Amino acid sequence: MSIHRIAVVGCGAIARDFHIPNIMANPRIELALTCDVDSSAAKECARQFKAGRASADWHEVVEDPDIDLILLTTHTNLRGELILPALKAGKPVYVEKPLANSLTEMLEIVGAVRETKVPVCVGHNRRSSPGILDLKRLLKKAVQGEGGWLPSVDRSHAGTREKLPEEQQIQILMRVNDDVRSWKDWIYHDREGILFAEMVHFIDVALWLNPTAPVRVFAEGSARGNFSLLIRFQDGSLTTIQHTLCGHFDYPKELIEISANYVTLTLDHHVELRQRGLIDEPFRITYPFMQQAGEDRLEGIEGFHQAVTRTFEEAQKKGTQPAFITPDKGHAAHLDRFLDCIEGKGENPCDVVAAVVVTRIALKLLESVRLGLPLPIGPEDWHIPDV
- In angstroms, the CA 44 to CA 29 distance is 20
273 falls within a domain: yes
Q: Could you report the per-residue pLDDT of 340-370, keeping only the tens digit for each?
A: 999 999 999 999 999 999 999 999 999 999 9
Q: Tell me what the pLDDT averaged over the chain comes to.
A: 91
333 falls within a domain: no
**What would the mean pLDDT of 116-139 be, rounded to a whole number?**
96
Say whether both 251 and 197 belong to one domain.
yes
Domain CATH code at residue 176: 3.30.360.10
Q: Could you report the per-residue pLDDT of 223-235, keeping only the tens digit for each?
A: 999 999 999 999 9
Say whether both 229 and 365 belong to one domain.
yes
Say whether both 63 and 150 belong to one domain.
no
Q: How confident is the model at residue 156 (pLDDT cuts 50, 70, 90)?
A: confident
Residue 296 has a pLDDT of 59
Q: How confident is the model at residue 387 (pLDDT cuts 50, 70, 90)?
A: low
Q: 257: which strand partners?
A: 173, 266
350 falls within a domain: no
Choosing from 118, 140, 168, the residue where a domain stops is 118
Say whether both 132 and 267 belong to one domain.
yes
Say whether both 234 and 131 belong to one domain.
yes
pLDDT higher than 90, residue 104: no
- In angstroms, the CA 70 to CA 87 distance is 10
Least confident of 17-31, 183-197, 292-306, 352-366: 292-306
Say whether both 145 and 205 belong to one domain.
yes
Residue predicted with more confidence, 293 or 54: 54
Say whether both 69 and 152 belong to one domain.
no
Say whether both 184 and 78 belong to one domain.
no
Q: Percent of the chain beyond pLDDT 70?
A: 98
**What would the mean pLDDT of 257-284 be, rounded to a whole number?**
96
How far, in Å, are 7, 109, 203, 356 from residue 376 at the CA level?
Answer: 41, 25, 16, 17
Other beta carbons less than 10 A from residue 175's beta carbon: 17
3-state secondary structure of 75: coil
Number of domains the chain is built from: 2
Say whether both 282 and 365 belong to one domain.
yes
Say whether both 157 and 273 belong to one domain.
yes
Cβ-in-10-Å burial (0-12, 13-18, 19+) of 132 comes to buried
Other beta carbons less than 10 A from residue 12's beta carbon: 16
Choosing from 101, 118, 135, the residue where a domain stops is 118
Choosing from 118, 149, 182, the residue where a domain stops is 118
Least confident of 76-80, 134-138, 290-294, 370-374: 290-294
Per the structure, the complete domain to which residue 278 belongs is given by 127-287+359-380
- In angstroms, the CA 68 to CA 90 distance is 8
pLDDT higher than 50, residue 294: no
Residue 266 has a pLDDT of 98
**What would the mean pLDDT of 81-94 be, rounded to a whole number?**
94
DSSP letter string, 342-385: HTTSS--SS-HHHHHHHHHHHHHHHHHHHHTS-EE--HHHH---
Residue predicted with more confidence, 386 or 335: 335
